[in-house]
Structure 1
């Protein structure tokens, strides 16, 4: 690894990036993703995301500390009308007030000045920062000095790689002077999304698609004074989107309070950083299960109540009732723990969320879905509301109580009837509906979540519902509309608009025109912004390639201009070979630029399609609510009495016509197709007979 020349030693905390060059969001995103490319494949699995995100945050904290010190010194100089010398600046710098404390010896310049054992130095610096700030406890979970698994004593991440990362991050200042908080927050979310795309199935552990989160947030409409809670918060997207909604409506993010719990330490660290970067001041607890060890409790030891809960919990967790450390592969141990944890009445919950003392039975051990749903209900205030991502199985799993013949007969010859008890999940769903807690259910398209191939839905729960809705449940079939991508499906802005109009209108056709107008305008602006961001992002991503092309074009032009001036045949031949090499290099770069231009063109085409579709969807929604029969194929307000007749089964196709009719074919077209098929059959038979004759079969 190259070392600094002797005598050229930076002062601690003085970065090469002090120029404070203003970065666009897209330039910052390209810079941050470039760091990910340096580290990819050099850590265990997908853990590299935690390294990159924590290093970015550490650099931000250090740069902002320096920026705050510079601003404070400049203000003192202005007030006193004189310039301070370096010694005076050092004193004022140490005394200055800062949002976060960065201890001496743990600042960016201290790490930058080191040349060996960089992993150890970086880990120590991050831990010192975490220890010095209560709000940052648990943020820096990675060990840059983790030993390689081969027992060699060498670090898993070589010193050279850590050096390359530090040099990469040192290229840009990340303080407010260069990167405003909102720009850095958006770039951080972009990084999380990129890591999710890269992680595939495992991304579901920490990331919910933003379109799904946006739908839930806009249905529940966070308000100033709300306490917002996510019991399985992952990277904190639900909390951040709630704050964004408040800002969009003219409120400060901190006009609400934010709380989250996440079992995975690494994901919780990402969520904490996300919270700090977005200015939420969220309280996020980590390391234990929300079901076995809820982090937020009241003075009586019961779960704390919140006005708004958003959640995307692990689907159908088989061992939801076990603490993380108990979830081993030892089946006998699990069976023993189950006997200790479950009684005849079900799970022995010390927090009173289900079982005896509530209208709900304990969830069965096999599926954890209702354990999370009941925890969410127990966490709601008397006027609280919740939006929950669930597997669609919660809508229909579990059988009601039935009487069935055993095949035997009594002494009088009558068949013996056996009564089979209702399943627990059926009884819980029945209790939810009888308590009038389910306000709406939305079925989603397949494959919109990372690693979750099962059909999913959104369940909206409300403790206090308007009188006109009290005896009804809105069911929305939104599975038809999405954009098909190579690895998964994506909800488009217009698909989100469909769901929002259905839920907010709640069957009232008079509400639809205003809702369509409101959402159409907002979504067009959203599409325009996304198009701009994507084009700018591609241009930033290919900026180095464009610069390389400009340089090569100049070199090629200069080489061509020089050729006629060369008198020597040998020298000319060498110059022609050199020119050919330059032209080959240029052609490769031109191909990369063509690749960029095609991606930009595709982004513009997609945006134009979406803008057109928004107008079309608005028209369709207006027509739907004028045609009750057609509306039944998309959404329906269903009375509780009808749901009871269906034995409290909420499977949406029972109530909404999800059948896709065969396309209508006109009789002349059908006859034309039939004649064409008959001609093709005759030609095939003639060709077959010719072949058979050629090999000696068939009559003359």
Structure 2
């Protein structure tokens, strides 16, 4: 039986519920995701073997014995090798020391496949920290997980690759929601990723790179864009680096499940030890880079193993690593020999930005999630009075050098590398409360816009959720129309029509998926309600026929008990129906807003004064006059006017307030008199 995406999601999240709280912090996501992938590999191996045997039986027009099937099964061709003793059946047959058995099987699979090195990073036999010798995850919990996963076949015969890929992404999103602030280490909200990918528009032949790839979402969405355009995912090549081994493993699995064949390196810092280099040691260059790097990393210049709590060691390393020219970079990204100053030690943002720039080929383009501080931090060179006077009585002047970040930003602008800056709503990222923006770089910009920068203020429009904010499809549409029109009003109608059609389809699909997901989640409650209602009807029919008083009392109690159980199940179904109704209301609101947004964009580009409140193409000369400060409110009117109030309404409100004050004073006077404090 083929599983739907929603059934698979429910099944996988059920496994997470078994393990939650049994591991350190949020580590349980790595256990569940790796176990799911291992089960998929094993099931697909068996499926490939069955298909090969069936084909041989068809060709030879005879049925094989079990012994013959075993021979074909062992020597058949498989996408991934699963050594004997490392198959799912071997794990399922074990009864004791399941953690050791599972870890040994997973590592055996990784060792047999170069592509899977580094995928299985968890140790199911890890001892508990209390020194008891017992495993951190008890044998019975591992057994429950194995039995849970054994309930469904995860091969292509039951779960097509695209369904499993979508379910895997859903699971990552659920883990991110569960992890809260820590999720920023491995997960970028899909709406932000989708925005970046659609701005950059990956093409067949692109080499696509993410230097801090986390769970691989940037790469996966790039492949999705290519598929949407009718190309195969492997028409581009994919590369990623991730310092955290566990997150890199999630990214590798994500890549395999989506058929990307991405090359993901792990365990070292992109800044101190970039993994992708040419034979001569220079950085490898790519045609497209997407990234969401760690914001304002204070110790970007240290290797992971050097980032200890020992301040003296850090200070000593800082003297060794930073010279008069700043960070001594062996890869020519900044410092001596480049037009760029080395970034300051305290903020790593420009270290990542300059690494990305150095990783772009001559026609390369990049989309980067940044803190908005990169737009304005750092002061230009200034002359200031010291408060002292020379022999002629003239005030002495001291010249203060420009800060490094100012110089880097100025060089980026004067080199024509910054194509656009898009400010985002607050709180759209997990654990990052600082204002963020999208920085778009392009080494091969159209001549007409090389001395211009598009600035988009997209912080007004979002959906407010309980823990964070979310870009809606129509909010993404606004950004894309501004970006792709680049100030040209003539392009807007076609862009609105193109994006409106796609986004309405996206909203419809999300609504369908959400409703199906809720129906699957509440399927057990629905079945329970149907069973209880049938039982209740039967008991009530029996009750009407009972004559004896004692028996009637017992039967009545049984009916009341069933009725209570039925009411609880009915309440769960009412809860489901309300959630479904809310999902439909939200989708209907979004569909209506898509049309309204399209009309709004058309009107904006017909009214230049109103457009200035949302987006503006700014010349480099004006940016220079602003000392190369890119803070968007300097160029775009982000002021939110107070709501208009009629004078008569204001006067009425004032009179009402004065009346309320007089009443309160009178009541206070009465109370004081009552207790003997008469004036």
Note whether the superposition's TM-score is higher than 0.5. yes
Residues 102-127 of structure 1 deviation map (CA, whole Å, 9 limit, x = unaligned) = 01111111101111111100000000
Q: CA deviation at 1:674?
A: 3.1
Shift of 1:672: 3.0
- Residue 358 of structure 2 is matched in structure 1 by 378
Q: Which residue of 1 aligns with 2:481?
A: 501
CA distance in structure 2 between the partners assigned to 1:396 and 1:481 by the alignment: 23
Aligned to 2:551: 571
**Which one of the candidate residues 230, 235, 245 is aligned to 2:215?**
235
1:673 matched residue in structure 2 = 653
Distance 1:154 1:577 in 2: 48
Q: Give runs of aligned pairs for residues 15-414 of structure 1, distance below 5 A.
A: 21-414=1-394
SS of structure 1 residue aligned to 2:441:
strand
1:645 lines up with 2:645 in the alignment: no
1:571 offset after TM fit, Å? 2.7
Instruction: State the distance in 2 between where 1:509 and 1:680 align.
Output: 53
Greater shift after overlay, 602-611 or 226-235? Answer: 602-611
Match of 2:567 in 1: 587
Aligned to 2:508: 528
Distance 2:175 2:202 in 1: 28
Structure 2: how far apart are the matches of 1:458 and 1:167?
Answer: 45
Q: CA deviation at 1:59?
A: 0.4
Distance 1:571 1:285 in 2: 74
Q: Cα deviations across residues 241-284 of structure 1 (Å, max 9, x unaligned)?
A: 00000000000000000000000000000000000000000000
Q: Does the residue aligned with 1:46 lie in a helix, a strand or coil?
A: coil
- Count of residues paired in the alignment: 679
Deviation at 1:604, TM superposition (A): 0.7
Residue 684 of structure 1, CA deviation:
3.1
Shift of 1:78: 1.2
Partners of 2:433 and 2:654 lie apart in 1 by 40
Q: For 2:668 and 2:600, how far apart are their aligned partners in 1?
A: 52
Measured in 2, the distance between the counterparts of 1:152 and 1:575 equals: 54
Partner of residue 603 from structure 1, selected from 575, 579, 583: 583
1:461 maps to which of 441, 449, 456 = 441
CA distance in 2: counterparts of 1:578 and 1:175, whole angstroms: 46
Matched ranges for 1:417-436 at <5 A: 417-436=397-416
**Counterpart residue number, 2:463:** 483
Instruction: Give 1:574 shift.
Output: 2.1
SS in 2 for 1:400: coil
Give the Å deviation of 1:210: 0.3
Matches of 1:415 and 1:496, distance apart in 2: 54
The residue aligned with 2:603 is 623
The correspondence for 2:528, drawn from 543, 548, 551, is 548
Q: 1:267 and 1:682 mapped to 2: Cα distance?
A: 64
Deviations, residues 331-364 of structure 1 (Å, cap 9, x unaligned):
0000111111110000000111110111100001
Moved more, 558-567 or 102-111: 558-567
- SS class of match (2:26): helix
Aligned equivalents of 1:295 and 1:550: distance in 2?
Answer: 58
Q: Which residue of 1 aligns with 2:519?
A: 539
Aligned match of 1:6:
none
Q: 5+ unaligned residues in a row in structure 1: which ranges?
A: 1-20
Q: CA deviation at 1:696?
A: 4.4
Q: Deviations over 1:399-451 (max 9, x none)?
A: 01101111111111111110111110000001100101000000001000000
Secondary structure of residue in 1 paired with 2:118: coil
User: How far apart in 1 are the matches of 2:399 and 2:47?
Assistant: 74
3-state secondary structure, aligned to 1:139? coil
* SS of corresponding position for 1:310: strand
2 CA distance for matches of 1:122 and 1:575? Answer: 52
> What do the CA deviations read for 1:614-652 (whole angstroms, capped 9, x no partner)?
111111111111111111111110000000010000000
| 2:298 match: secondary structure | coil
TM score, norm. by length of structure 1: 0.96
SS at match of 2:27: helix
Farther off after superposition, 534-543 or 556-565: 556-565
For residues 342 and 413 of structure 1, the distance between their equivalents in structure 2, rounded to whole angstroms, comes to: 41
Q: How big is the shift at 1:698?
A: 5.2
Compute the displacement of 1:80 (Å).
Answer: 1.4
Name which of 430, 438, 446 aligns with 2:426. Answer: 446
For residues 155 and 587 of structure 1, the distance between their equivalents in structure 2, rounded to whole angstroms, comes to 43
> What do the CA deviations read for 1:513-558 (whole angstroms, capped 9, x no partner)?
1111110110000000000101100111111111111111111111
Q: After superposition, what is the alpha-carbon deviation per residue over 1:127-185, rounded to whole angstroms, capped at 9, x for unaligned?
A: 00000000000000000000001111110000100000000001110000100000000
2:656 and 2:415 map into 1 onto residues whose CA distance is 61
Q: In the aligned structure 1, how far is the partner of 2:18 from the partner of 2:557? A: 35
- 1:579 Cα offset (Å): 2.0
What is the alpha-carbon distance in structure 2 between the residues aligned to residue 136 and residue 548 of structure 1? 43
Q: Which moved more, 1:568-577 or 1:110-119?
A: 568-577
CA distance in structure 2 between the partners assigned to 1:476 and 1:71 by the alignment: 54
- CA–CA separation in structure 2 for the residues paired with 1:637 and 1:448: 25
Q: Which has the higher mean CA deviation after the structures are superposed, 194-203 or 682-691? A: 682-691
Measured against aligned partners, the alpha-carbon deviations of 1:480-516 in whole angstroms (never above 9, x if no partner) come to 1111111111111111011001110001111111111
CA distance in structure 2 between the partners assigned to 1:431 and 1:665 by the alignment = 47
